[in-house]
Each structure stands twice: as structure tokens, then as C-alpha cells.
Amino acid sequence: MNFAPIPPNDFPEFISTYFERCRARVPHIEAIAGKWTLEDLIPGLSDFDVRFIVREPLTAQGWCTMAMEVANVHSQLALERKDWARNLEHLPGVNLSWSELLDPKSYYPEFAQWSFYHGPPEKIKAFKEMISSRAWDEVETAYHWKKIAIYYGAYDRKIDPAINLGPYENKYPLHSRVMHYLAPPIHSLVCLHEGKTGPGKTEAFRRARELFPNQATMEEVLSLIARHYEAPHYLVEPGLSELDKSLEIYLREATNSVFCNQSWLRCKPNPTRDELKAAIHESAGEQGISQLFELVKFARLMKGRLWFYARDVAWFDSAPLIRNEMNRLRANFYEQPLQLFARHCLLQPLDAEGCLRELEGTLLSPASVQACRAFAALADPSCPDAELKNVAAQIVEIYEPFLEAMETVVQAAMLQCCINKTMSYVRLPKSALI
């Protein structure tokens, strides 16, 4: 098997270039962070999960303007740097203002997994102090067990297509298994075992080597990373199936070892994925209102992401990426937020449409409700493959009023949280939500 030469690690250059070009178009941007650490970014194979922090909260219109400016930078870099196609897999995911980032009401456990690369030192210091001073609680415990449940079990060979990898595509089966599907649950298991969340995947592997059974398996995983996956035996059968089995066993036994030290989760050893999810649901209970904000903050630059995916760049395959978004857009940005609002603020077990009917004419205008329905109709997971780019472009056209409605719902929910700090839990009259 032939391997292309291992590329230099140009992620620092990419991050600096991306940050400066986006700041030139959007002066509100003050800092750039990324999920995980620089050590975890494998040249030629990793994408980069950007998180932008802006000076002050933006309106839905402001977020959509920012989304399109960042998308233009994204598109231009994709044309200029064919070798950065993998780095540019998607626009930034979570995007927040400093006040949102530092507000305990909007705390998100993923924050502890971020590495800051550029930004005001005093604000980054305040962020790090907030993270280090926060006591471990059930929010972190539930977050990590839910993450484990997503990946628990055998690797699904259909779920992570090899795209935009150029000469390194033949190594992707190993990168996908190691960094995309083993690293997240092992990271969470290490965090649960140690009662704190660190930012690194590779460091979590090193800690797991010391903490969990089957040390030899983790030695091999770390060796694969160090060799840039140049391991022909594991890239063909039967080696690939051998690796799948050994990683599945490792994850199961590591999970069992954490069960022994956990009183929060009651689950029998060697559970199925469904049994594990059921045990987590029973222990975690219903999602809180903070989950609404967690969902909507991922929606802020989606207009630009879909616009970029709908464009035609000869060497950038976006169809699988649009499919990935279509599989979750309606559930994550429309159904779940409105159901959460209905349950916690209206105190009614309504579906998304029922919640909209309750809010129409009070919190939301008829035009806003119509925008939500238009989004829900377009964001259909059953969209045919041939229509993906066309539908993505249509969602872009109606996205701003939809995001405005969701941001309005979030602000009303946050207001309810503030009221509940000082008075018993009551349903707000509609007039108080306007």
C-alpha cells in the first residue's frame, strides 16, 4: 500500500489566516477557539471545529450577516487552497458573545474542551478561571454519559464517509475509527473517572492507557496516531475487522470499569447501547431549559454553512455534509427547542406545532410562525440526494426570520429562568413573554 508523504502541520497558519480574514469582514469577532487541542489536529485528515467569540450579543440579523461574511471567507479559501479542503469542512459551530460565554446560565460542558488560539488575553484568562473554578456536578456527569452512549458499541462503517481528503483518503478508515469514534467516548470516560474535563483527545488516550484494562490496545491506538496511520495491516481485511473488534472490546471494558466507580448511573455490566441510553435517561431525568440555548447557539451561522455547501467547488464534496445537516436540522433547531419551551415555560407537553400555536400573536408574530413552519417543511430528512443543494439554497433564503424566532424563544426562556431564581415556578402569562 502506497502512502502520500505526511504533510506538515499547517493548522497554526490556517487558524491565523481564517481568524484574520473573518475579523476583517466582521470586526465584532474578537477570539477564535477550537474544540480539542492542537495536538489532536492530524494534518491532512482532521477538520477544524471553529468557535468564534464576538464582542457583544448580536441580533438574529447580526448573526446571519456574520454567517454570510464568514461563508464568503470560507468559500474564497476553499478556492485558493485546495489543500485546505479538509480543514474547511464546515463553518464555525458554537458562536457566542463574551457575556454569554461567561454567564453561568448558559454554561455548556463542552467549553472545557476548547483551546483558544487568538483573542484578548484578559478575557481568555477570565474564561479559563471560570472553567477551572467550576465544581464538577451532575451537568458534567450527564453530558459525558450521553456522549459515551452516542458511540458505545460497534463502529458503523456507513456513518463517516471519506470526503475532501485528497491523497490521504486511504488512511481515513483508521482516523475515523480512532479520532472520530473512539476518542470522544474515551475522553468522556477519563473525565468521569477523574472528575474533571480536560481539552485533549490524545491526552485522554494517554490517561486511558493508565486507567483502564487492555493497555496494549491503547498503546496500539497511540502508535497509529504517531505513525499517521501508516499501518497497512489494519487498512485491509481481515485487519480492519480485527481492529473494529478490539476497539469495541476496549470501549466496553473501559465503560464497565467506570461503572464500578459511579453511583450516578445504575446500569448492568456490558449493556447494549439501548440499555445504556435508557439508564442514562433514567438518571439524568428530563432535559432542562438550558438545553434550549445549547441547541440554538449551534444555529447562528447555519445560514452561511448551507450557503457554502450549496456552492459548486470542483474539489469540495458537500453533498454528504448537507445530508448530515438535513438529518438533524429540523429536530435540533425546530422541534426540540419548541418542545423544551412548551414543557418548561408553558408547562404543557406540546409538540413544536402546538407550541407555535400557543405563541402566535404574543411572543411570536404570525410572520415569525410562518417562517418557522417554512423552515420545518424544507428541513426534511427525507430530501432526495439529487435535491440537497437546491434545498440548502432554499433554506438560506428563509433562514433569517426563522433564526429571529428561535432567538426570541431563547430570550423568553432565559427571562423565565431569571424569574424562577426569585419566585416559585409559575407559568408566565403570555403578556410577560412579549
Q: What is the 3-state secondary structure (H, E, C) of the chain?
A: CCCCCCCCCCHHHHHHHHHHHHHHHCCCEEEEEEECCHHHCCCCCCCCCEEEEECCCCCHHHHHHHHHHHHHHHHHHHHHCHHHCCCCCCCCCCEEEHHHHCCHHHCCHHHHHEEEEECCHHHHHHHHHHHHHCCCCHHHHHHHHHHHHHHCCCCCCCCCCCCCCHHHHHHHHHHHHHHHHHHHHHHHHHHHHHCCCCCCHHHHHHHHHHHCCCHHHHHHHHHHHHCCCCCHHHHCCCHHHHHHHHHHHHHHHHHHHHHCCCCCCCCCCCCCHHHHHHHHHHHHCCCCCHHHHHHHHHHCCHHHHHHHHHCCCCCCCCHHHHHHHHCCHHHHHHHHHHHHHHHHCCCCCCCHHHHHHHHECCCECHHHHHHHHHHHHHCCCCCCHHHHHHHHHHHHHHHHHHHHHHHHHHHHHHHHHHHHCCCCCCCCCHHHHC
- Tell me, what's the pLDDT at 331? 97
**What percentage of the chain carries pLDDT values higher than 70?**
96
- Tell me, what's the pLDDT at 420? 56
**What percentage of the chain carries pLDDT values higher than 90?**
88
What is the domain partition of the chain in residue ranges? 1-134, 138-284, 288-434
Q: What is the pLDDT of residues 211-258, one digit of tens each?
A: 999 999 999 999 999 999 999 999 999 999 999 999 999 999 999 999
Residues 175/229, Cβ–Cβ less than 8 Å: yes
Taking 60 as the threshold, does the pLDDT of residue 429 lie above it?
Answer: no
- Tell me, what's the pLDDT at 132? 95
* 95 against 418, higher pLDDT: 95
Average pLDDT over residues 172-201: 97
Q: What is the pLDDT of residues 317-331, one digit of tens each?
A: 999 999 999 999 999
Q: At what angle do helices 336-344 and 388-420 cross, to 10 degrees?
A: 20
- Tell me, what's the pLDDT at 290? 81
Averaged pLDDT score across all residues of the chain: 93
- Tell me, what's the pLDDT at 432? 34
Q: What is the pLDDT of residues 35-61, one digit of tens each?
A: 999 999 999 999 999 999 999 999 999
Q: What is the pLDDT of residues 298-317, one digit of tens each?
A: 999 999 999 999 999 999 99
Taking 50 as the threshold, does the pLDDT of residue 434 lie above it?
Answer: no
User: Could you tell me the CA-to-CA distances from 226 to 69, 178, 182, 395 in Å, in that order?
Assistant: 37, 12, 16, 42
Q: Give all strands of the β-sheet with 50-54 in edge-to-edge order.
A: 95-97, 50-54, 29-35, 114-118
Taking 80 as the threshold, does the pLDDT of residue 419 lie above it?
Answer: no
Average pLDDT over residues 394-410: 97
Taking 60 as the threshold, does the pLDDT of residue 428 lie above it?
Answer: no
Taking 50 as the threshold, does the pLDDT of residue 197 lie above it?
Answer: yes
**pLDDT band at residue 430 under the 50/70/90 scheme:** very low
Taking 60 as the threshold, does the pLDDT of residue 198 lie above it?
Answer: yes
Taking 60 as the threshold, does the pLDDT of residue 426 lie above it?
Answer: no
Q: What is the pLDDT of residues 115-127, one digit of tens each?
A: 999 999 999 999 9
pTM: 0.93
Q: At what angle do helices 60-80 and 388-420 cross, to 10 degrees?
A: 140
Q: What is the pLDDT of residues 265-294, one digit of tens each?
A: 888 889 999 999 999 999 987 777 788 888
